[in-house]
Structure 1
Amino acid sequence: MASDHPIVIYPPAGDGGRRVRAGPHFLGMAYTLLDVVEFLRLAGMEDVDDDWMRQSPLVEWRGGGPDTWTAAHG
């Protein structure tokens, strides 16, 4: 399913890393919220910070919000 959000943070993998995508581009595997912020800064979004990431409607958090960095086990 395509997302209406240009930035998607995928559910945590087994090691806690979360894939980060901006538009069609894979930016990297983040292990903290600050990793996501840095990926976006390197991609040209210089004004991004952790508060922006938590509040922006441009961000879709899948499998947990910005404080979820471990995989759910069920």
Structure 2
Amino acid sequence: MLLSVLACFCPVWPINIVGFVYSIMSRNSLEQGNLDGAVRLGRVAKLLSVVSLVGGTLIIIACIVNLASDRYKRF
């Protein structure tokens, strides 16, 4: 759940929201006693959260590089 919440701060908004929803569904399945469903949904939530974190990090790095290169082009 924590990984999904952290992923929501990344700029890859459709993926991180879906990962957060899957993590909530996984928690609800566990509370209902459906261990197999909770594990399956948890794996999907973890995968989507990691993809969102990696994608968000790449987008942020690309923006920083782009802004830094524009700054040096002006001078």
TM-score range, shorter chain: under 0.3
Q: TM-score, normalised by structure 2?
A: 0.23
| More contact order relative to length (CA 8 Å, sep ≥ 6) | 1
Kindly indicate which of the two structures has a greater share of residues assigned to helix: 2
Q: TM-score, normalised by structure 1?
A: 0.24
